Structure 1
Amino acid sequence: MPEPGDGIAALRTELAALHRMLVDSGLVVWTAGNVSARAGDDAFLIKPSGVPYEHLTPDSMVLCDLEGKPADGEQLKPSSDVFAHAYVYRHRPDVGGVVHTHSTYATAWAARGEPVPCVLTAMADEFGGEIPVGPFALIGGDEIGRGIVETLDGHRSPAVLMRNHGVFTIGADARAAVKAAVMCEDVARTVHLSRQLGEPQPMDAADIDRLYDRYQNAYGQ
């Protein structure tokens, strides 16, 4: 595992700030939800289990190996989702951050077992298509992680709605995964509202491809 001096302190600080961003964005309540960040090739940091967000500090973040086992000297237990995160990191070397929320609108889609259809340009930009639904899986082992990896295989979406559970997002780093979680809730809400008014208008697949390419490769500075 990385030594404390190898940038872990800065990563702990960033992770504590990203957890506050979940609260500020209205994606979590009480102690539910978590963010993790890859820490080198063989470890990651994750939120501790059952600690209220207002009590989280950089030192609260738990350093674990890629099997989900806490490093020697860690004082707090990692999130109950630690094995799901660990599975993702083991099987997706491109992933540097994982987020889990029970955000209201996106989780409502998960409860229905229904993907969020790509009917918005903002969805095409960020997700490159629909937000898919993963299988039902119980918390506590790596079954959730397996469902995340298998569902997102072949998808451009960085978000998956785990059936009857909630949202998991991935990113090149933890901040990107948090952004995907924020965007997932935003578009889930908008598409839900649009369906109250009628049937949302589908988008042409070629237009979705063009929007995704522009946003991913040309947008911004």
Structure 2
Amino acid sequence: MSGSFSDDVQSAIDAIRVDVARLHGELTRYGLVVWTSGNVSGRVPGADLFVIKPSGVSYDELAPENMILCDLAGTVVPDTPGSERAPSSDTAAHAYVYRHMPDVGGVVHTHSTYATAWAARGEEIPCVITGMADEFGGAVPVGPFAIIGDDSIGRGIVETLTGHRSRAVLMQNHGPFTIGATPRDAVKAAVMVEDVARTVHLAREAGPLIPIPPEAIDRLYDRYQNVYGQADDARRVPPAQDAPAQEEIYA
């Protein structure tokens, strides 16, 4: 594959480049990353392609023209803007998710402090606050330990989240990965998983946690995903096989 595309596909690539570059700023805005760690990627609609950040580049230097275009094998598409740089070290993981979860349009990875602390213990975040029931439909699960560099992390993400309502997984000893129908949706999940990780940690430090009954979690999740927001908001498609429908991000 070379960097020659139809006008429609090229327009879609250009739009995703802008979106992904901008969304990296949300990771720094919410304090989810330090130095050059973390990454956002976005699937190109209508093509077997995705856009991801370059490896080891300062967030201040990220721009649409240096986002890297890859195919779904995780190979950089030659003769495209940014193709002279190495893509994120997590590119193989993102590519695996896109290949095996066709409804996923965005993937995010951070080392956000509290979520990573839960991952370091290999402990899921229990569903003990209503906002967590709303957003994740239950506990945030833990994925297996995997080494960076090949698609092992991607396999762990897919195995853990397939059929699960959560859009976040805590990869053991590593940190959170989130998925979404769009890159923005995945970034929202990254922001929210750090928020609940912090809140539940502080609550447990103060005393015993009070679980939310499963039937109440189901009701809260259904209301938030299907009622909350404006009537003309587009609803999310499920990112995992057999997972219940979820909503698009609400501002």
Match of 2:11 in 1: 6
Q: 1:70 aligned to 2:79?
A: no
1:15 alignment partner, one of 4, 17, 20: 20
Superposed counterparts of 1:93-172, under 5 Å: 93-172=102-181
The superposition leaves residues 141-178 of structure 1 with CA deviations (integer Å, 9 ceiling, x where unpaired) of 00000000001122100000000000000000000000
Q: Count residues with an aligned counterpart.
A: 221
Q: Which runs of 5+ in 2 are unaligned?
A: 231-251
SS at match of 2:179: strand
Determine the C-alpha separation between the residues in 2 that align with 1:79 and 1:159.
Answer: 20
Determine the C-alpha separation between the residues in 1 that align with 2:105 and 2:75.
Answer: 18
**1:50 aligned partner, one-letter code:** G
SS at match of 1:7: helix
Match of 1:42 in 2: 48
**2:26 aligned partner, one-letter code:** M
How many Å apart are 1:5 and its aligned residue? 2.7
Contact 2:128 2:211 in 1 (8 A): yes
How many Å apart are 1:88 and its aligned residue? 0.1
Determine the C-alpha separation between the residues in 2 that align with 1:10 and 1:42.
Answer: 15
1:203 alignment partner, one of 187, 212, 231: 212
Match of 2:244 in 1: none
- How many percent identity over aligned positions? 67
How many Å apart are 1:77 and its aligned residue? 1.2
Determine the C-alpha separation between the residues in 2 that align with 1:157 and 1:44.
Answer: 22
How many Å apart are 1:8 and its aligned residue? 1.5
> Considering only aligned residues, what root-mean-square deviation do their CA atoms show, in Å?
1.0
**2:52 aligned partner, one-letter code:** I
TM-score w.r.t. length of structure 1: 0.98
